[in-house]
Structure 1
C-alpha cells in the first residue's frame, strides 16, 4: 500500500521542476521488497551514475530516507541495492531519515544538489586562483565553518628516514589516487600536494594541500601535509556550510562507527556528503583522549602533528600564537625530556620566549624541515 504522503510528493510541480522523479504508484503496492526505492533526485555530471535515491521502508511509512552516493539510471526501479565501488572496497552507506514533505525535499535540494549545479565547475588538478606559492583554494559558501583534525603521520616512525619527504610521498600518492574513486568527491582535484603548480611567469611550485570539492554540498575537503623527521603529518581540513539537521548527522556518525569508534573530533553539523567522503578515505581517526595519552607517554611525533594542526590553520583571526601557547604550556613541564625539548623549539619559532628560555643547545637536525623547497 502506498503511504499517505506519496500522492502529494509525486504530483508536486515544484519537485518535478527540480528534477525529482517518483515511481508509479503500482510499483509501491506490490510489497515485494523490504526497502523500496520510490524516487531520486536527478544525476550529477561530476559522477556519472550517482545521485540521491529516495528510499521507503514499508515498516516505517511515515519516513522517507535519502541515500547518498547511490546508483541511478535512466530507468527508475523499485530495487534497492547496496552501493558499490570498483576499487578499494565498498562505498560508505550514508542514509538519512526525512519528513516526507515538499519543504523538506526542496531544502535537501538546496543544500546538496543546487551547489553542484550553480557553482563553478572544478577544473583538472588546478584552481585558477592558486597562482603563487602560499595561495589557498577557498570554499564558495558565504557562511562557512572550518574543521581541522589530525590524521597522524605517514612514514617510518620507528626508523625515521634522512629524507622524510621522499619516504612519505609514495603513501601520500596512494591516498591522492584513492580520492578519484571516492564516491562523495568530485573526480578532479583543485590541488595536489605531490604535484607541481605553475605561477603566471612559469615557475613551478609545490603546495602542502591536496584539495577537492565534495560532490553534493560542494564543501572543500583538503589534506594538509607537513613534515618532520618522522614523516608526513596529515591534517584533514574541511570548509563547509553547516548542516542544520544535527540529529540526523549524529545518526550517520553512529552508523559509520566502524570508521571512528568513540570519536570526539567530528562535529554534528557536518554535511552528509562530507561524512561519506571522510569515511571513504579509509583512514583511522584517533580520539583526542588517545592522542593526549600518547603525549603523556612521551610521543613527540603526536606533539608535532597537533602543533601543525594549530600552527598551519590560517583561519585563526589573531594567528596561532595564543592557541599554541595554550596547547604547548602543559608539555613544557613534561617528565619526558624529548617532549620538553620539542616544545622549546616550537615555542621559539613563534616568539613564545617564556616557553623556550630553558631550551638546551640542540643541533639543527632536531628542527622541523622546510618541506616545500623542492619544485620537482
Structure 2
C-alpha cells in the first residue's frame, strides 16, 4: 500500500476524575492520533498516549521526521515498518518515545490492511469470528475514600464484572489491608488484583506479599521498580502470590528477558508502549511457548483485538475514567457484556473517532503529503 497523506493530531483529554497511585497524580491524558490515507482510498487510524506529558515530542517526531520517510515508501505495511524503524531511530534510540511513535503507525497500518481484506482486525491476526475476552474493572483510585472505592466496585459488580483491581501503596500498609478487606466483602470469591505502581522495595514486598496472599489476592502488580528483573525473579521464588508486571518496560531487551527468564507469573506488556501490534504479538507468542499468560496494561480499545487473537490471553484491563472508550470522543468502540469485552465486528480495528468532538481537545495538528 502506498501512503499518500499522513495526518497527526495531539489531543489532551481530561480524565473523568483525578488519577492517583502510589507514586503519581495526574488529571489528563495526551492522545497522539495518526490518520494515514493510501492510494487505494483506504484510511488507517492509529494512536498512542501519555499520562499528560511528552505528547509534543511524539508529535514532532512523527511530523518532522517519520511521516516524510514513510511517504517515500512504495509499499508500506507493518513488516516493512518494523524493519525500517530501526534505521529511522538509529541516531536517537528506539526506546521510550520512539516506541510510542512507532505504535501509532503500526496500528494504523494493521487497521488499513484489515480494511483492505474486509476483515475485523482480530480475525486477520488469527482470532475466531466471535471473540470475547474476560475483563476486569480497574481504577487509578488510591485517592478514593474507602466508601467511594466500595461504591465504585459495587457499581461495576452490578454491571456484570467478575474481576476487579484496585491501587494500594498507602503510607500505612494497614490502610491497604483495610481497603482489600472492604472490597473482598463486596465481591466475594471473584478475583481481586492489587497494583502498587512500583511503590515498595524488595524487603517490604516479601513481607506484605505474604499477607496479601493470605487475604486471597489474585495477583500483586508492579510492587518494585520495573527494571529490577532479578529481584522480580526472586520474588516469584519467595512468594506464593502471583506477580504481574511489564507495563513500564520500553526496552526490547528487558521486555524479552521478562518473559524468557520467567520473572513474573503474568505478563502485562502494554501494546502501545511495546511499539504496537507487530511487536506485542511477538512477545505474546514467546510467552505462550513458555506457558505464561498475557494481561496487557491499558489501551483496551486495541488490547481487545490482540487478546482476541492469542491463546494465552488472561484478562483485559477496563479502566473507566481514563480510557478512550468512555471519553465521549468515539463513535464506535468495544462493548462489555457480563464481564466480557467484545471487539467491534467491523473491518479493521473498528474504533471510529468523532472528529468534531475530538477537535475540542486539540493541541497540535499537521498534515504531511
Determine if the TM-score, normalized by the shorter chain, exceeds 0.5: no
Higher relative contact order (CA 8 A, sep 6+): 2
User: Which structure: larger Rg?
Assistant: 1
Instruction: Give TM-score, length-normalised by structure 1.
Output: 0.22
